[in-house]
Amino acid sequence: MPEIPQNALVLVVFGVVYLGMILGGLPWLKLDRSGVALLGAIALVGGGALTVEEAARGIHLPTILLLFSFMVISAQMRLGGFYAAVTRSLDRLPGPPELLLALVIGVAALLSAVFTNDIVCLAMAPVLVDTCWRRRVDPVPYLLALACASNIGSAATLIGNPQNMLIGQVLQLPFGRYALDALAPVLASLLLLWALLALPLWRARCGEARAEAASAAASMQEALRDSTPFDAWQTAKGLAVSGALMLIFLFTGWRHDVAALVGAGILLLSQRLSSSRVLGLVDWPLLVLFMGLFVVNHALQESGLAARGLQALLAAGVDLHDTATLFAATLGLSSLVSNVPAVMLLLPAVAEPDPQRAGTVLALVSTLAGNLLIVGSIANIIVVDAARQRGIVIDWWRHARTGVPATVISLAVVVAWLRWVLP
């Protein structure tokens, strides 16, 4: 196929795929973001813009392996009843609603930093609703706290969410160095999130909703009981593997993807949990999304269109190596196409000359921007959907009343941190 038609095909497919990322699918077709990305990759191979071998080389296998491995580890923890047990333990602790809110934020952030935010929200949201109704409090503020805190907490490590895994693998960022750099803004953002949700006006609105929540609890209680019993042995295995991986990441030079894959393999060796149950909880559509976007972005890079676009931006005075420009570009793209596609677009342009700084900005801003809108992160969608299944409506406006100020506050913390701590 001649070069110009090839480049035209690449440009059209790229535009359609990222339009699908913005819209969450394509009009009149039952395609979600994963389906759009996969269809784009198929179109590029079928149209001759890439060979099958070139498409395969475009997929960053270490990121896929790391993401898959932590999905297996998180599935082990979920099947062992760990997340449900942790959430139920919050129910048994005495104290006012503000204390429960602080505990939900702290636990969600800590777990998300290790076991990825999407899985944590998926497991905790239903049990959290049950806890709130037993305490006669409105579940909505606590569900919003879960979603926002899981996003913020996941920014603390390079394994907390898919985009951070990608950034860490592609830019080869040191695990411990990044965690130290991210710790202060993450902790400050979590504290400010608690202050935002614990304002007297907010608590007053929670109080007004108690009667409604209490009346609904009686009819919904049985449906909300978590059916996953706590299995100490399976949970201990998952925690042991997770702890070992943290030590390996911090103190050895063993490749992260290989170490995580070995850990996942160890967990699959079980006499109680069948591998089909564990693998059934792996988020295969997310892996397909990653692979499809890898292929589409690789085609754009190989065509030379991306390099020309970058040169045009530089000629116009837009320099993505400048921290402020990268910050704004990451925030804008993350809000437009969501954080994973945004990071994939920006990574090739910021790999040099300072990958540590660029990677830290990318990871923090893309993750914290996920709180802005419901579609900003998968964790938000999971929490909202779990609430809807239990008759609790969290619409765009209800989420934005917390998500927008939480995002503004946390990003302001990052701006101050970048300006005064990491000049």
- 232-270, pLDDT tens digit by residue? 888 999 999 999 999 999 888 899 999 999 999 999 998
d(CA 200, CA 204): 6
Mean pLDDT of 375-386: 80
Residue 34: name the closest of 19, 15, 21, 51 by CA. Answer: 21
The CA R_g of the chain, rounded to the nearest whole Å, is 22
Mean pLDDT of 226-233: 74
Per-residue pLDDT for 308 more than 90?
A: no
Q: Could you tell me the CA-to-CA distances from 191 to 11, 109, 141, 185 in Å, in that order?
A: 44, 11, 15, 10
Q: Could you tell me the CA-to-CA distances from 175 to 74, 86, 113, 116, 250 in Å, in that order?
A: 19, 26, 12, 15, 6
Domain segments of the chain as ranges? 3-420
d(CA 330, CA 167): 13
Residue 296: name the closest of 102, 39, 83, 30 by CA. Answer: 39
- Total-model pTM: 0.80
pLDDT at 98: 80
Per-residue pLDDT for 99 more than 70?
A: yes
The token pair at 170 is 């592609």
Residue 146: name the closest of 168, 171, 121, 166 by CA. Answer: 121
Size of the chain, expressed as the number of residues it contains = 423
d(CA 286, CA 283): 6
pLDDT at 303: 85
pLDDT at 223: 41
The token pair at 58 is 């475009």
Torsion on CA atoms 386, 64, 351, 40, rounded to nearest 10: -80
Long-range contacts of 24-28 (CB under 8 A, 24+ apart): 24/375
Q: Could you tell me if 335 and 373 are in contact, meaning their C-beta atoms sit under 8 angstroms apart?
A: yes
Mean pLDDT of 36-44: 95
What are the pLDDT digits (tens) for 110-144?
A: 999 988 888 888 778 888 888 888 777 788 889 99
Give the torsion sign (CA, 150, 112, 334, 128): negative
pLDDT at 210: 47
Q: Could you tell me the CA-to-CA distances from 243 to 203, 236, 248, 250, 272 in Å, in that order?
A: 37, 10, 9, 11, 22
Which of 119-123, 229-233, 363-367 is predicted most confidently? Answer: 363-367
Query: Which one-letter DSSP state was computed for residue 48?
Result: T
pLDDT at 377: 80
Q: Could you tell me if 278 and 267 are in contact, meaning their C-beta atoms sit under 8 angstroms apart?
A: yes
Query: Which one-letter DSSP state was computed for residue 27?
Result: T
Comparison of pLDDT for 220 and 106, the residue scoring more = 106
Centroid of chain to Cα 223: 28
Question: Residue 344: CB partners within 8 Å, gap ≥ 6?
Answer: 166, 293, 294, 297
